[in-house]
Amino acid sequence: MDNDIPYLLLTPGPLTTSRGVRAAMQRDLSTWDIDYNAIVESVRRSIAAIDGSPETTVVLMQGSGTFGVEALLGTALPRDGRLLVLSNGAYGRRIAEIARRLEIEHEELVFDETSLLEVQRVAEALDDNPGITHVAAVHCETTSGMLNPLEAIGETVTAAGRVFLVDAMSSFGGIPLSLDSLHADFLVSSSNKCLQGVPGFSFVVARRAALEATDGQARSLSLDLYDQWREMEDHGGKWRFTSPTHALCALARALEELEEEGGVAARHARYQDNQQRLVAGMCELGFVPLLPGEFHSPIITAFLDPDDPRFVFPEFYDQLKARRFVIYPGKVTDRNTFRIGTIGHVFPDDIDELIDVIRDVGRTAGFIDS
């Protein structure tokens, strides 16, 4: 661990960043300056290259990942469009809530939080509802740590002639994927997830023709994805409104570090190693993962609270934080869980140390015997 980091963030983002990423923010740049806009363009090119699909374009949007999701939904759906939301967790439900707030006609196909999205049910829903024009789904549902089978879902959606929108917030840059592999037209992610930058903006990777078709559809001024893209395209990386300059510089450095690490494949391998060590160590201590192993993503893992009155999550959290490890509370609606992330500037040795700390904390509290 870097000794200048007070906490190691074992969360799905914001997450622990490298010294280099933090150092990249130690400069002030004008949003109108040609040097800054050149950095913007380099970031857009790098993100497009990570995707690698032909005719791919990238647009950056101020705000958190949810801002990006809302910008995408509010721009991609025409007034006479109808959205099918596939939901098996809190972030699928959030997509449906955004659609409701924007008064987008939509339906929600709900699955249990511990069940994968099912291709057959999606195909049946599309057959039964010919008015559906767009389908939205979450790739890695961090409510549970579930990695949904979007390759098969996307193939079904595309074959049915619908537009596929993917929330790849917690997977882009950490799991090999692309618009082509997911059969998607748009995917949205954020600077502070697997790319290992800092919070400040989200981004949408789109097929150029699909994005061009959204001209004039946006339901918002500031979250007009098409107009934002058009400004960046026509003016060499310029944003329409004040942009997060420091966060952008951080991501530019983070993208360099991703390449230095060996690209997405190498980062995915590290994340997998982290997550597998975590699960093995936690199971040895008697903790039980919420999901079966074959459903796990390498991003975050939910564990059931021990059935022991001596386990009190706020106390457990505080004890780990005092030892520099910050984890995440649970978000599953009907089970008591907590979550531990394995992404960011986090390495196998950090996970091994975490397991040792949890063992010590659990023994002291009395809910771990080993």
C-alpha–C-alpha distance, residues 96 and 75, integer Å? 15
Q: Last residue of a domain, which of 259, 294, 310? A: 259
- The structure's pTM equals 0.95
Residue 32: predicted pLDDT: 87
Residue 195 inside a domain? The answer is yes
Please check whether residue 52 lies inside any domain of the structure. yes
Residue 219 sits in a domain whose CATH number is: 3.40.640.10
Asked if 252 and 276 sit in the same domain, the reply is no
Q: Are residues 276 and 231 in the same domain?
A: no
Is 199 within a domain?
yes
Joined together, the tokens standing for residue 33 give 């300056």
| Per-residue pLDDT at 4 | 60
From 206, 226, 259, give the residue that closes a domain: 259
Q: Are residues 302 and 354 in the same domain?
A: yes
In a domain, 2, yes or no: no
Of 1 and 116, which is predicted with more confidence? 116
- Are residue 215 and residue 317 in the same domain, yes or no? no
Question: Which domain-ending residue is among 241, 259, 277?
Answer: 259
The verdict on 214 and 194 lying in the same domain is yes
Please tell me the total count of domains within the chain.
Answer: 2
Angle at 200 between CA 184 and CA 261, to 5 degrees: 70
Same structural domain for residues 276 and 222? no
Same domain (yes/no): 332, 187: no
Q: CA 154 to CA 119: how far, in whole Å?
A: 9
pLDDT digits (tens, 9 = 90+) for 32-47: 889 999 999 999 999 9
User: Residues 3-35: pLDDT tens digits?
Assistant: 566 889 999 889 999 999 999 999 999 988 899
Q: What is the mean pLDDT of residues 217-242?
A: 97
Q: What average pLDDT score do residues 98-104 get?
A: 98
Average pLDDT over residues 262-284: 98
In a domain, 221, yes or no: yes
Q: Could you tell me which of 140, 178, 164, 182 has the C-alpha nearest to residue 13?
A: 140
Residue numbers of the domain that contains 98: 19-259
Share of residues in the chain with pLDDT > 90 (%): 95
Instruction: Summarize the confidence of residues 269-276 as an average pLDDT.
Output: 98
- pLDDT, average across residues 87-114: 97
For residues 144 and 281, membership in a common domain is answered with no
Same domain, 117 and 193: yes
**pLDDT for 344 beyond 90:** yes
For every residue of 142-155, DSSP letters joined together read TTTTEE--HHHHHH
pLDDT (average), residues 84-96: 97
Average of per-residue pLDDT across 59-88: 98
- What is the model's pLDDT at position 7? 87
What average pLDDT does the structure give for the chain? 96
41 located within any domain: yes
d(CA 133, CA 12): 31
pLDDT for 2: 53
Determine contact, residues 233/140, Cβ cutoff 8 Å.
Answer: no
Q: What is the mean pLDDT of residues 224-239?
A: 97
Same domain for 203 and 221?
yes
Predicted confidence at residue 78, as pLDDT, reads: 98
